[in-house]
Each structure stands twice: as C-alpha cells, then as structure tokens.
Amino acid sequence: MRLKLSEKIKTSAPARKIGLWWNACRTSLKLPGLVKLSVPTRKIVLLPDGYFFCRAVPISEEATPAEASTQIELALETLSPFPPAQMYHGHFWWPGTKNACVFAAYRKRFTAEQVESWADAEAVLPSFASMLCTPIKRPTTLLLWSEKGLTAVNWNDVNDAPVSVISRELPLEPTPTDRANLREAVLRESELLTDVPVFAPSGAALRDTLVHKAGGTRAIVETSVTPVFDETAAGDEFVFRADPLNAAFTREQLDVLDVRDKEELAARRRVRSRDLLLWRVLLGCATAIALSLLLEIGLIAGGLWQKGRTMIVDRQEPGVAKILTAKNLASRIDELSTRRMRPFEMISLVAAKKPDSVTFDSATVTNLYTLDVEAKAATSSDLEAFRSALNTLAGCESVEFKGNRLVNGITTFRVVVTFRPDAFNVPPES
C-alpha cells in the first residue's frame, strides 16, 4: 500500500463543531422514585489496517466537499480493479487542501456478521484513520502498532494529507526480533516513498525519535498501544487515544472517514438531522412547560400576596371610615364656625338680572355658594334673556337651567347658580 503526494500547501484544515446536542443526549435523566433514562454510549468500529489499500488523489483547491467526493469516486474507478460499489471506502480531505488520502477495501473481505455489527456504530473506519487528525509540527512518521502488525503514516507537509500509509503484518507468534525487523523494514520503505529520509538505525529510541539526514529532518513518533475511542471524552468531539497521541474529530470530519455505504450514510445523516430537530423541539417544549410552571407559581404567589393585602385593608376599613367621618365633621364645623351662607346677597345678584316678566316662586341655598331658584316666565324670550344675563353675571361660576315646562302659556323652570367665593362684596361677619 503506497501513496505519494508531490505537492505541498500551507492552508490548515478547518474544524467546525456541531453544537452541544450530543452531550445533552448522552446525559442521564434521573427521575427519583420512578425511572432512570440514559442514552447508549457512542460506538466506533476500528477495522484492521491490513484490509485497506491507500492512494493519493489530487483535489482542486476550490472544490466543495460534494465536488471532492465526486472527484474521489472517479479516481477510485481508475485506481481500483473493483468498481466503487463493491468497496468500502473513505477519505481524509479538508476544504482548501490539494490532496486527499483515499483508503478502500473489497467488501467481500468482511463477513455478513461483521457488517451487521456496524449498524449501531457512529462510524466505521480503519484504525490508522483515527490518528489522521494528530497535530504535527514538522514532517513526521507515525508508527502505529497493533497485535497483528505495524502501520506507518508519513507526512511531508503539516497542512496536507499524509504522503504515504504503509501497513505490514507480524508473524503469528512474533518475537522481539521480529518486531525490530518489521519496524526497520517499514522505516526503510517509508524512506523510499518520502522526500525526507526517515530511516532510524537499529536500537534508536522508540518514541519521538528525530532523524537527521542530508535530505532534511523528520520526527518519528511511535505509539505504545493500538488507537482506541475514548467514550468518556467530554465535549461534542470524537476523541481517539494512542499513547502518547490524541486525535479529535468533529461529526462532519468523522462522516468523511466512514467507509460504509454512502447511501446508507446519507440516510443516517437525514435521520440524525431529524432526531436533532426533534430533540430541540423537545427541549423547547420542556422549556415552555418550565416557564409556564414558573408563571403559574408566580400567579399563585401574587394572588396570596394580594389576598393578604386585601385582608389588611378590610381590617383597617372601619378605622379609616371613622377617620374620614371625623374629618368631614371637622370640616363642616369649621365652615359653620368661620363662614356663613349669604342667601339674600345671592338672591339679590340673581334677581338683578331677571326680566320683569320673570318671577321667583322659591329660592333654596344648598351650600355656601349655590342658589337653587324655582321661577316662571311669561314668555320664552324672557327666559332666554334671563339665561344670557346670568352668564354675564360677575362672580358667577356656573349657571344651569332645568325642568323647563310650558303650562297655560307660562314657562316654569329651575335655575341653579354657583358663585365664586369672592363674588360677594359684603365681607362675612366675624
């Protein structure tokens, strides 16, 4: 399995998170005394590296993810002896990079039982693909050991796909010598496939070895364990660990690496989008119910508070009524003791304005400044003249005519005249 990328770019691969919905889904919901609801743990299937062959496919820099997938499908048709429909394949490519690392395996290499076990998995990918997001700072060779063999992933450019992926198997019962020989052979083969020498002499340090050659400098990083998926990792990323390295993927990045049938993956994405929508609707409904309960509790508390205030008002009402009565009585006594009614002055002022045909039948003083007169007029024109005269009366605040009736040619009526306090020239007696 060999691939070689001759071009290098400087554009880093973007990463985008898809939100916190998965963490919310994973959270266990505990209902005291009733039931405990929990979401199953995420499952990732890592397949043996020896099942896959890898190739480098150049991709247009301006290509979209959909266009890149189309270009990869076309490349697979020419690179593989089998049509893409008969292979499980995925690729490592981020927008803006010039090359993609494509890996594929013949479907018949996997049994029906193996394929059925993938149904509940979040993703299915080769073991080495779980480390493709490993942060690197220089040209690097990553050695991944497993029980059955060794895989070498070689980068020449930190901002591009690996330049080659080499996987070799161990004997059935390997000895330390077999392991050392396999490591040396894989490193020599990597040196032939890369622009920078990577061969480390026998006995060199197994981890983070920095090799200096005439062609340049390359870091050799060797893991001590097989990559595994961290099911307990916090956040919305998928984290893989292989001491001493960690690699984190977003949901979109992991979907690109998934080797399962692409139509099936598209259906899974639609189902996932639907579930996400339903989950958000559920959260919205739960939030609305919680707000409704809070409002209801607020209304109940407000009603109890208002009821308490009403009870206080009811208890104090008799005392308030006594105070108001006492105040009104004091005001009336003050008026009677300091002021007096002026009925004759009011009658004189009103009578001075009446026509000769208007006669008064009775006059009543209703308060200090109001005179209520019952009168009659011989003609309606005299009534209008009387009305106009009273409206021009100095010191008059308001004039109101009521109950006009015409009986045997005589018009009877009532007139209520309200004076201002300063309408009388004669001062009140002390």
User: pLDDT per residue over 295-329, tens digit each?
Assistant: 999 999 999 999 999 999 999 999 999 999 999 88
Tokens representing 362 are 């009775």
* pLDDT given for residue 9 in this prediction: 33
3 lies in some domain: no
- Tell whether 285 and 363 lie within a shared domain: no
Which value, to the nearest 10 degrees, does the dihedral of the CA atoms of residues 91, 95, 98, 102 take?
A: 0
**H or E element that contains 315:** helix 262-338
- Tell whether 133 and 247 lie within a shared domain: yes
Whether 411 and 385 have beta carbons less than 8 Å apart is answered as no
* pLDDT given for residue 189 in this prediction: 85
Domain that holds residue 165: 21-260
Biggest alpha carbon–alpha carbon distance for the chain: 146
2 lies in some domain: no
* pLDDT given for residue 156 in this prediction: 82
Whether 169 and 186 have beta carbons less than 8 Å apart is answered as no
Pairing mode, if any, of strands 87-92 and 149-155? unpaired
- Tell whether 201 and 120 lie within a shared domain: yes
* Distance from C-alpha of 45 to C-alpha of 117, rounded to nearest angstrom: 9
* pLDDT given for residue 40 in this prediction: 57
Tokens representing 382 are 């005299």
Which of 347, 344, 342 minimizes the C-alpha distance to 360? 347
Beta-bridge partner residues of 168: 150
Whether 246 and 238 have beta carbons less than 8 Å apart is answered as no
In the sheet that 99-106 helps form, which strands lie side by side, from edge to edge? 53-58, 99-106, 87-92
- Tell whether 98 and 236 lie within a shared domain: yes
- Tell whether 156 and 121 lie within a shared domain: yes
16 lies in some domain: no
Last residue of a domain, one of 204, 229, 260: 260
Last residue of a domain, one of 306, 322, 338: 338
- Tell whether 314 and 380 lie within a shared domain: no
**H or E element that contains 166:** strand 164-169
* pLDDT given for residue 28 in this prediction: 42
* pLDDT given for residue 286 in this prediction: 94
- Tell whether 245 and 107 lie within a shared domain: yes
* pLDDT tens sequence for the chain (430 residues): 444 433 333 333 333 333 444 444 444 444 444 444 455 578 899 999 989 988 888 888 788 888 888 888 888 888 877 888 888 999 988 887 788 889 999 998 899 999 988 988 889 999 999 998 888 888 888 899 888 899 999 888 877 888 889 899 998 888 999 989 999 998 888 876 654 443 333 333 333 344 433 345 678 888 878 898 988 776 678 899 888 888 888 888 888 899 988 888 888 888 888 988 999 999 999 999 999 999 999 999 999 999 999 999 999 999 999 999 999 888 878 776 666 778 888 888 888 888 888 888 888 888 888 889 999 888 888 888 888 888 888 888 888 888 888 888 788 899 999 988 777 754 544 4
Last residue of a domain, one of 292, 309, 338: 338
Number of domains present in the structure of the chain: 3
Distance in angstroms between the alpha carbons of the first and the last residue of the chain: 127
236 lies in some domain: yes
* pLDDT given for residue 11 in this prediction: 36
